[in-house]
Structure 1
Amino acid sequence: MIRVVLADDEPVVRFGVRAVLGTAGDIEVVAEAEHGGDALDLVARHRPDVAVLDIRMPVLDGLDAANRIRERYPDTRTLVLTTFAEDAYISRALGEGAAGFVLKTGDPQEIISGVRAVATGGAFLSPLVARRVVDQLSRAHPRPLAKQRIEVLTAREREVLGLVGAGLSNAEIAARIHVVEGTVKVYVSTILRQLGVRNRVQAAIVAHEAGIIPA
C-alpha cells in the first residue's frame, strides 16, 4: 500500500483528491494538512511514501515544503499539484525537490499515476504540464538545442532518458530494456551528469523537449 500525506488549503480540493486516490486500491491517504508547515509535521510523524502538495499554501508553500521534505525525509517523494496559471512556480520547481507535477483540473487518473510513479522512484509530469513547460523553454531555447544536448548520450542512454521522461522507475526501466536495476541506476547517474541536470524531473523535461518519449 502506498501511504500518502495530502496538503492543500482548500478542503474541497483535499476531499476531491482523497476521493480519487481512494479509488486506486493501492493508495491510502494517512493524513491531511492545510499548509506546508503542517505537511512537514505530518511527514515527520507518518513517514509516508508520497507527499501530495498544493503549490500555493499559507505559512509554507508546496515547493518550499517539497525541498525541506527532500532534505529531511529523503524516503518520502513529493508530487506537486499545480494549475495553468502557475508557470513561474513550475519553472522554479524544476530545481526543487518535487518528483512530479499534476494538474488539479486534469484527468483524475493522472493523480493516481503520478503517486504511483514517484512512489517507485520515477518522475511524473502531467502531459499538459510537460507541454506547457516545454513550450516555455522552447521560447528561450529552440527545440534543436535539446536534441543537441542529448547527442552526448549513447543510444542506450537516450532510450533510458526517454523512459525516465515517461515516468518509469528504475525497476520498470530495467524490466523494459532487460537489464538489472543497478545498471539502470548507473545509466541515470551518467545521464544526469552528461546533461548537467540536478534530478529526474529536469531530465524528464529534456526528454520531452527533445521529443524522445516512447509512444
Structure 2
Amino acid sequence: MKVAIADDDPIVCSSLSTILTATGTADVIWTANDGQSALKCFQAAGGRPDVLLLDVQMPGMDGLEAAERIIAVDPAARVLFLTTFADKEYISRALALGAKGYVIKQDVASVVPALQAVMAGQTVLGAEAVANLSLGKQEEQTRKDPSKPVPRRFQTLTDREHEIVALVADGLDNQAIASRLCLSEGTVRNHISAILAKTNLANRTQLAVEWLSSQES
C-alpha cells in the first residue's frame, strides 16, 4: 500500500517510515510536519496515498482541520489518526469527519495491523480511544431518556447480549467481561460470536464503534 505521514515531529515521520518500509508494509510516498503541508501534498499530482497517518496537534492547521479539508477534496480518502491525545472530543470529531480510525501513538505495534484493517474497509479504534470515548457516552446517557428505542442493528440481541456489547464498548476484554457477569470466558466468546453474526459486524472494534455511535442518537 501507499502511505503518507503527517506529524509535527520529523523523528516520528522518519521512524514510522523506517518501520513501514522495513516490514514491507507500505511505501511512504511523502511526509509533512503540519496540516497545511499535508493538504498541499495530498492535492499534488500523485500525492494521494491509500492511507494517510495524521497527527492531531500540529502548528498552524491542525490534523482535524486538515482531515476535514482532505475528505472534502476526496470523500474516499482513508485518514487514520495516530496521536498522543486520547481526548474523547478529538476522537468524536475525528470519527464525525469521516476518519477511518484513531490510534494512540504510544502503541506503535498497533500501527501496522491498523493500516491493514483500514485497507480492508474497517474502522479502527485503539483500546485507550475506545475506553475514553465510552466514558463520554456513559456521561451523556445519564442525561438521556431511558425509554429510547434500541437501534435497529441491535434489536435482535438478548438482554444478556446487550450487556456484553456495552462492556465491549467500555473496552473490557473477554476475561474482564466474564468476571463482571459471572460467566466463563468460553461463554463470553460464544456470545460475542453470536452478536457479530446478528449485527453483521466483522470484529469487536466495529461492534464498539457501532454501539457507541448508536448511543449518540
Q: Once the 2 structures are TM-superposed, how far is the Cα of residue 58 of structure 1 from its aligned partner?
A: 1.7
Higher relative contact order (CA 8 A, sep 6+): 1
TM-score, normalised with respect to structure 2: 0.67
Runs of at least 5 residues in structure 1 that lack an aligned partner in the other structure: 168-202, 211-215
Question: Percent same amino acid among aligned pairs?
Answer: 32
Structure 1 residue 145: Cα displacement: 8.8
Amino acid at match of 2:104: L
Map of 1:151-166 to 2, 5 A cutoff? 151-152=154-155, 158-161=198-201, 163=202, 165-166=204-205
Q: Aligned partner of 2:133: which letter?
A: V
Do structure 1's residue 120 and structure 2's residue 120 form an aligned pair? Answer: yes
Q: Structure 1 length normalisation: TM-score?
A: 0.68
**Mapping of residues 1-215 of structure 1, within 5 Å:** 2-45=1-44, 46-84=47-85, 86-106=87-107, 108-141=108-141, 148-149=150-151, 150-152=153-155, 158-161=198-201, 163=202, 165-166=204-205, 204-207=208-211
The two structures, once aligned, show a CA RMSD in angstroms of 3.0
Answer whether contact 1:146 1:206 (CA < 8 A) is retained.
no
Please give the alpha-carbon distance, in whole angstroms, between the structure 2 residues aligned to 1:130 and 1:156: 18
Bigger Cα Rg: 2
Q: 1:208 to 1:21 in 2, by over 3 A?
A: farther
| Structure-2 change in CA distance of 1:32 and 1:114 (3 Å) | same
Evaluate the alpha carbon distance shift between residue 71 and residue 146 of structure 1 in structure 2; reply closer, same or farther with a 3 A threshold. Answer: farther
Deviations 1:5-54 (A, max 9, x none): 10011112212222332243131111000111111121122211011100
Q: How far, CA to CA, are the matches of 1:117 and 1:54 in structure 2? A: 19
Q: What CA distance in whole angstroms lies between the structure 2 residues aligned with 1:98 and 1:146?
A: 28
